[in-house]
Structure 1
Amino acid sequence: MYWVLVSERSDEYEISIDKVPPIIESHSLYMDQGSFIPDRLPTIDIPFTQHIEERKTDNIIVPTRMGLFVNEKVKSIFDKLGIRNIQYFKARLIQQSTQIINENYYIANVIGKYACVDHQESELEYFDDGDIQFIDKLVLNLEEGNDHGHIFRLAEFPALLMISQQLKDIIVDSNITGFKIYNPAEFSL
């Protein structure tokens, strides 16, 4: 079984980053499309404001085009599973008011897409050009015996990540924060 992995806050006290870092903007990079980024990038500085009541998560919510923004704990889990379809870009999280730097984070670009949406069984709304606009219910059609890996993007809606049962179990058992996991049939967007 595959599950939908979403970068989503559990509550209002988890920090999020609202702006795309200048280097990502200037290179016109999109790390939410499943494509390899050929550029070698220097460490990416990400300024943020953290209020007293806010806390950092293992995956910090960032603008979609940045992909995932994970800490060393998440990267370590991905590495232990032998996940090879992720590019990592070193990042420095810089608290603007104190200038405290946290070098424990990476921008993660998940590479690879599979066209596996069952359009007949899913409940979808489309743009005029045929792209998916809204999802009320998602049904996947993954061929038995094919190894789709532990994490991939939907070709029909690349911003959406799918994860394996094994990766889901590890994320849950490790108390990884900053993600929500949904059964595809119960997912809506």
Structure 2
Amino acid sequence: MYYTFNMTDDTSLAFIDEFEGITRPWDLDEGIRMGHNFPSTVKAYLDKRYGDLLTDYLSNTSGLIPISEKMKAVFEEMGLNEKRVEYLPFELYNLKRRKVKKQYYIANALEKIYCIDQSESELSFNSLNKINDIEVLYLEHRRIPQESHFFRLAEAPKYIVISDALVNKLKTSNISGMELIPEGMDLW
């Protein structure tokens, strides 16, 4: 089983309103290694319409995967090293616009796998016949290497997929804040 990330509906949890200072944000949608193009001054601010309860995964409208140091450690335990995921540190500011002491990272999935089952998935295409949006996602599991736990869909790189094995490891490690949509369910 595979999952995609979802935004939380729980208004007591912290929710990132905006990221400030990211140069070339479109590269993060494509899974391009940012390296030195990612400034050390990137900041994220919490949305005042939500709460201030910090979790290990922070929902946001940017489609990014902001994770805590604790969640990063679990990713690394599962073999998600710098070849597969780029961990980009940023400063998080609370609702009072004060810097949070806890370290967070954007997990930039670098691995891309061609694995969408286009005959089963509900997809919309743009004028160039590229996938624009996915309403329901089904994957061809045989195309996914067993060690791939956090990756982008090569046909639609803005979508990041997480394996059942990683989800289970995150749950047993008491990682908080994740809301996931299982494969085959409506993404909207």
* 1:149 and 1:164 in contact (8 A); partners too: yes
Instruction: Give the corresponding residue for 1:81.
Output: 78
Structure 2 equivalent of residue 62 of structure 1: 60
Q: Which amino acid aligns with 2:183?
A: P
The Cα shift of 1:144 comes to 6.1
Residue number in structure 1 paired with 2:126 = 127
Measure the CA separation in 2 of the matches of 1:146 and 1:163.
13
Q: Which residue of 2 aligns with 1:158?
A: 157
The answer to whether the 8 A contact 2:17-2:46 is kept is: no
Alignment match, 1:138: 137
**Residues 57 and 176 in structure 2, CA contact (< 8 A), matched pair in contact too:** yes
- Whole-angstrom CA distance in 2 between matches of 1:37 and 1:100: 24
Residue 24 of structure 2: aligned partner: 28
Equivalent residue number for residue 110 of structure 1 = 109
CA distance in 1, matches of 2:7, 2:37: 28
Q: Greater shift after overlay, 56-65 or 141-150?
A: 141-150
| Alpha-carbon distance, 1:151 to partner | 0.8
Letter in 2 for 1:89: L
Give the 3 Å change call, closer, same or farther, for CA 186–96 of structure 1 in structure 2. closer
- The one-letter code of the counterpart of 2:31 is G
Percent sequence identity over aligned pairs: 26
CA RMSD in angstroms, aligned pairs only: 2.6
**Equivalent residue pairs, number:** 184
1:1-40 paired onto structure 2 within 5 Å: 1=1, 3-22=2-21, 24=22, 27-29=23-25, 30-39=27-36
Task: Give the aligned residue type for 1:188.
Answer: L
TM-score (norm 1): 0.82
Q: Distance in 2 between matches of 1:18 and 1:50?
A: 4
